[in-house]
Amino acid sequence: MFTWVDFAEDDRRKMADVIALFSEKETRDELGIGGIRDTFADLLFPATSTIQTRARYFLFIPWIYQELERRRTLPADIERLARRDEIRLIRALENGGETDGIIGTLARDKLARLPSSIYWAGLGRLGIRRFAGSQEQYHREFATFYPTSLRRLVAEDEGTAGPAAWSTSLPSAPSGFLEKAAFGLSKREAKYLAERIWEFGPTVFGSLLGSADAEIDSAFVWDTTFAANLGPSLRSQIAHAQNFSELMHGAALLYNFMLACEANRKSLQDEYREELATWAELIEAAEPRYLSWDRKLFWTVVRESMHAVSPAAHKFVDRWIDHTLRSAKLTRIADDAAAQSLVVAREAQVKRTRKRIGNARALERWNEASGAGQIDYRWFRVKIIADDIRQGLG
């Protein structure tokens, strides 16, 4: 069970994202290091999330709401009618020949997490959504955003119209897009989205949009040739992210190996032992890079971000990295009692009564890969969204 105080839309959105990610082994935060992960994900790829799918949803959502504003939909009806239109969008995309990235293909009218909810925070960060409140507040205040007629403006000698919920430079919606639609962006639409991202200043995401021929099929952004050609500041961000991702992957693998042992799953034990040995070889090969890593600067970047990282998380990460780099027998880390103690203690801090190690009942709910994937900072989503925009830019 999750409980939290819903002070703001961002709080609610973060918790909804956590719940939605329970099936994605790469993004689950079993050892309480998500704040560090999200710090660098936001630096590298602002306005994104792991459950966004395609770039054109950044336009579909405001287009749906703008049409409902134009129709002067009553605030009491807006949630129902907006949901209706978001469900209609599923069929429209299918009619347009799309198959990948449609939100709600299986759930249809039972869809619990609508695209508007998934993209709401990103729309605000990009400045596409000008209304500063939550989606629920927007629905309550919907009448505020009805378009004002030109006749009334002239008659009352008003200089400006009322407040706008959406960017005034937003490209117009294509006719009939709720009947037939596609994810392909027009040049104007792609340029609009790219410009919103470029307004963040120098970012890896923005640089990627300006590199039409950059190869982005790699599993991690640091493995691309594109990343090697970035300026020093962006390369530094990527280096911090890469070192943290690679080193902490071992802790995630060891955690799952220990759970496999607890569950007496011999085949899984062998799989994780092999993965740990492979990880150790990679770490040993890259040891000079880790030893020259400015961890003090790394923690400064984390501390200055909007994401809270507890002293306990800070201590665990430092202790794990120190132990990893000092280990004389890293390829045998599966049987390293000191490394296991770090993981056991951290799980107890994070999960408390829900910890799995030493708790048979909680272990029954283990899915055999709890947070076992290496952190990629949303790259698996971002490269699809970026490619949508790059193709539109031509």
pLDDT digit string (tens) for 59-110?
999 999 999 999 999 999 999 999 999 999 999 999 999 999 999 999 999 9
Q: What is the overall mean pLDDT for the chain?
A: 91
Q: What is the pLDDT of residues 144-155, one digit of tens each?
A: 999 875 434 333
* 93 close to 182: Cβ distance less than 8 angstroms: yes
Q: Does the predicted TM-score (pTM) go above 0.85? A: yes
- Taking Cα atoms as reference points, which of 234, 220, 205 lies closest to residue 387? 205
* 188 close to 222: Cβ distance less than 8 angstroms: no
Is residue 5 over pLDDT 80? Answer: no
Is residue 266 over pLDDT 60? Answer: yes
Q: How far is CA 196 from the centre of its chain?
A: 18
pLDDT, residue 215, reads 84
d(CA 62, CA 193): 13
Is residue 384 over pLDDT 80? Answer: yes
How far apart, in Å, are the Cα atoms of 335 and each of 30, 173, 330, 338? 20, 59, 10, 9
* 226 close to 208: Cβ distance less than 8 angstroms: yes
Among 21-35, 280-294, 298-312, the range scoring the smallest mean pLDDT is 21-35
d(CA 353, CA 76): 43
pLDDT, residue 282, reads 97
* 54 close to 391: Cβ distance less than 8 angstroms: no
Task: Say which residues have a Cβ less than 8 Å from residue 366's Cβ, sequence separation at least 6.
Answer: 259, 263, 356
Q: What is the pLDDT of residues 203-236, one digit of tens each?
A: 999 999 998 888 888 999 999 999 999 999 999 9
Grade residue 336 by pLDDT with cuts at 50, 70 and 90. very high
- Spans of all domains in the chain: 30-46+230-379, 57-221
Within 13 Å of residue 259, how many CA atoms lie on the same side as its CB?
Answer: 24
Question: Which residues share a beta bridge with 129?
Answer: 166
Residue 389 Ramachandran class (φ > 0 left, ψ -120 to 50 alpha, else beta): alpha
Is residue 281 over pLDDT 80? Answer: yes
Residue 83 Ramachandran class (φ > 0 left, ψ -120 to 50 alpha, else beta): alpha
Is residue 24 over pLDDT 50? Answer: no
pLDDT, residue 162, reads 58
pLDDT, residue 152, reads 41
pLDDT, residue 163, reads 78
Percent of the chain with pLDDT over 70: 90
Q: What is the pLDDT of residues 113-141, one digit of tens each?
A: 999 999 999 999 999 999 999 999 999 99
Task: Say which residues have a Cβ less than 8 Å from residue 218's Cβ, sequence separation at least 6.
Answer: 224
Grade residue 386 by pLDDT with cuts at 50, 70 and 90. very high
- Taking Cα atoms as reference points, which of 184, 171, 235 lies closest to residue 207? 235
Grade residue 8 by pLDDT with cuts at 50, 70 and 90. low
Q: Exposed/middle/buried for 239, CB within 10 Å: 0-12, 13-18, 19+?
A: middle
Grade residue 369 by pLDDT with cuts at 50, 70 and 90. confident
Percent of the chain with pLDDT over 90: 82
pLDDT, residue 368, reads 87
The residue-averaged pLDDT of 379-385 equals 97
